[in-house]
Amino acid sequence: MALDEALLEAVASLGRPVLRFFSWVEPAATFGYFQRYAEIARATQLRPLIRRPTGGGLVPHDADWTYSVVIPPTHPWHALNAVDSYRRMHEWICAAFARLGVATELANCCRKTAPGQCFVGWEKFDVLWQGRKIAGAAQRRNKLGLLIQGSVQPPPMGLERKGWENALSPASYHKLELTAEIHTRAKTLAAEKYFQPAFNARR
């Protein structure tokens, strides 16, 4: 979470979008910036609970595939409204699955059974596979840029994560070497914010 926020702060100076893949070293859960900690703590036994810099609902992390996309303010995606950027992100996800021979679709309506829990039911433009939601995302847009954090969980059987990452990466993708300044900023945000119980339980 700290690195994604540091990338959002830096993306304007980087001058181009950043696609990042990451995974979890232990089971955990993230929840949207505006959600109430007490409600999240009752909804899942997963610990730790980490407040995201983006919105959205409760997302369990164990065997899921997680990614983030950071868009500079000069990019056309930054000018999209939240619905359109969400749809476009998940069209990209569907196209990656199609390259691997997996048929997915975007939800054309909503189906919620547990408010605040991202993968119980679905919202419009979530990614569905065989009638269940497998991919969702959360966003934060400000003058610095656009941050999209997403999760695919659990992935369709038989797929390997590396193959999916390659399918998702644009043909023009170039590996970004993160600067020492970004790493330092991420460490500061982690220590002063995301590791702090006062931040995660602030609401």
Q: Which residues are catalytic?
A: 118
Q: HSE-up of 75 (CA within 13 Å, CB side)?
A: 21
Closest CA to 59 of 50, 68, 71, 69: 50
CA atoms within 13 A on the CB side of 27: 5
Which segments of the chain does DSSP mark as H helices, in order?
2-14, 37-43, 82-99, 161-168, 180-189, 197-200
C-alpha angle 151-90-50 in degrees, rounded to nearest 5: 25
Joined together, the tokens standing for residue 21 give: 């893949």
Report which of 41, 54, 67 is spatially closest to residue 197, judged by C-alpha positions: 41
